[in-house]
Structure 1
Amino acid sequence: MYRDLSHPLRTGAPTYPGDPDVSVEPAATHEADGYSVHTVELGSHAGTHVDAPRHTEPDGATLDDREVGEWAFDARLLDLTPCEPREAVGPDAFPDDLDPAIDLLVVRTGWADRWGTDAYRDHPFLTPEFAERCVDAGVGVGLDTFGPDPTAPAESADDDSGDEPTGFPAHHALLGAGLPVVENLRNLAGLPRRFACYAFPLPLAESDGAPARVVAKTR
């Protein structure tokens, strides 16, 4: 059985603050042209997508540097729901019984339910210590949020969020170690503890990331 974990890409889809807007508009129609074609404009990190190391590491690998089969994962669900807004996920949340064969830890916070609202920015985030646990285990992460680091709140992109880490420490830890990061997942509720996960990105040449159709195979 297959389950789609991807958000649809449509005009006005949520984007990380400052990223390009998503636009999907007709370029040809059946009525006028006898066929249908759309113009699609978006950033490389729009919607459900994968990060390549080049996203945060100037000398990091691009999508071209990974074989396509490396986007097929043996995944483990880590269900942390219910989470609080801007909750810090510390190293104690990392599963101590992680099978060494697992290469993607899919973290469910419940924030996919807030997709399309300002509250989506107030997602939980991974502490640098949690990210280092991932690095030590050689496991990438998938999240139902904008990413593993905090996102600025909607009311002020320059807001100082107190004890939250600044910059992108979790990104740097994971991508600096060459581990995959998959962001903006959905439909994680009810997934089995272990499943196959396919996160094949669009083949954008020399890219820092790309939208992906992410699918879980549960049996």
Structure 2
Amino acid sequence: MSSISRLPLLTESISPVTEPIDLSIPVHPQMLHWGRRPTYEMVEVIDETSPSEVSRWLIGAHTGTHVDAPSHFVKGGTTVDRLPLDHTVGPARVLDLRHVEKEITADDLIAAGAAGARRVLFKTRNSTDALTRTEKSPTWVGLGPSGAQWLVDNGVVFAANDYMTMEAPDHTETWPTHVILCTAGVVILENANLAHAEAGDYYLVCLPIPFEGREAAPAPSVLLPLPA
């Protein structure tokens, strides 16, 4: 069966946009990054002896807009190259959570209209604040454990946040949100730029680089309008 034939069908919902929205943040040596930043070297440059440019990059699997696969926190869990396409491609809902100060709870998700969605993206104040910095922010908005458990209990298969971690600031020692989501097989997208995405329903295309056997990978992602 081809990859295209595995894609879920479009729904008949109305999208709030008419043009694609690119969720990916640029990758460069000074970018916001958890740990070592990416570096590159030029292998070839255009000059009298070479007609083309070629660069070689050293990046981590969690660079830029990237997906965390279940194996990130679950030994023997699904790796990024084996994620089901129907988890990362299909109808999705952007939730307006810009009022949340630090930790998204189950009640926040319900109030924002998450019920019934299989793929959710959290638009928070990060998109215009913490995500725009080149250094780690002293505070950001993440998904709390109660929110993570609500997603699992309600059949969500994909969740995205607009910062370099899905975890809320108070939980980055034991990582309960990651553990809950990864154990249930929920795909996590981090560093999704949602500054230009209004709350509502879209068609998501998220295609992680298939690093064989690995726990994460950069994942170019776009939101497309749903057909009227």
The CA deviation at 1:108 is: 0.8
Q: Does 1:70 align with 2:92?
A: no
**How large is the Cα RMSD of the aligned pairs?**
1.9
The CA deviation at 1:98 is: 3.8
The CA deviation at 1:188 is: 3.8
**Could you state the TM-score of these two structures normalised by the residue count of structure 1?**
0.84
> Residues 1-219 of structure 1 correspond to what in structure 2 (within 5 A)?
1-16=19-34, 18=35, 20-31=36-47, 33-84=50-101, 87-95=102-110, 97-100=113-116, 102-113=117-128, 114=130, 115-118=132-135, 120=137, 122-139=139-156, 140-151=158-169, 164-165=170-171, 166-219=173-226
Q: Deviations over 1:153-212 (max 9, x none)?
A: xxxxxxxxxxx2332100010111001100001134443411111110112111101001
How many angstroms apart in 1 are the aligned matches of 2:75 and 2:94? 31
How many angstroms apart in 1 are the aligned matches of 2:146 and 2:194? 27
Structure 2 counterpart SS, 1:26: strand
- Runs (4 or more) in structure 1 with deviation over 3 Å come to 67-70, 96-100, 117-121, 187-190
Q: Percent identity?
A: 25
The question of whether the paired residues in 2 share the 8 Å contact of 1:12 and 1:23 is answered with no
Summarize the Cα distance change of 1:28–1:121 in structure 2 as closer, same or farther, 3 Å threshold.
farther
Q: Deviations over 1:76-100 (max 9, x none)?
A: 111111443xx12221101265453
How many angstroms apart in 2 are the aligned matches of 1:71 and 1:217? 13
- Specify every segment of 5 or more residues in structure 1 that has no aligned partner in the other structure, as ranges: 152-163
Summarize the Cα distance change of 1:99–1:74 in structure 2 as closer, same or farther, 3 Å threshold.
farther
**Could you state the TM-score of these two structures normalised by the residue count of structure 2?**
0.81
Summarize the Cα distance change of 1:212–1:121 in structure 2 as closer, same or farther, 3 Å threshold.
farther
Amino acid at match of 1:49: H
How many pairs align? 202
The question of whether the paired residues in 2 share the 8 Å contact of 1:121 and 1:146 is answered with no
The question of whether the paired residues in 1 share the 8 Å contact of 2:33 and 2:135 is answered with no
- Specify every segment of 5 or more residues in structure 2 that has no aligned partner in the other structure, as ranges: 1-18
The question of whether the paired residues in 1 share the 8 Å contact of 2:81 and 2:209 is answered with no
Amino acid at match of 2:155: G
